Amino acid sequence: MKKIVPDPPQFYGLKPGKPLSRAICEGVGPMEYVLMNISHYLMFAYSDSRRALERIEDEETRQLLEHGLRAMQIAWGQADAVVASVEGEGAA
């Protein structure tokens, strides 16, 4: 899969140049923290985009953003489910 964006800033003492994905695979990176961040950033993006949608007057642009927001909602729900399962809450 093609990498679209750079890794987030280094944290938790990861060596410079080591991708976050590799650190997670090796058990060095905090997968739970990364999953939680995915969910939070999707929430922020959704909230900001929803506010922007209210200001758009062009109907075609509104529809495009609404489709994007729906996709974001689906991704957000799936990210939350993964976070819950990793934290052990999804077993019930």
**Amino acid 83: pLDDT:** 82
**Amino acid 20: pLDDT:** 74
Judge contact between 35 and 8, C-beta under 8 A. Answer: no
Q: Output DSSP code: residue 14.
A: P
List, for residues 41-78, the tens digit of each pLDDT value. Answer: 888 999 999 999 999 999 999 999 999 999 999 998 88
**Amino acid 2: pLDDT:** 52
Q: What angle do CA 30, 43, 73 make, to 5 degrees?
A: 110
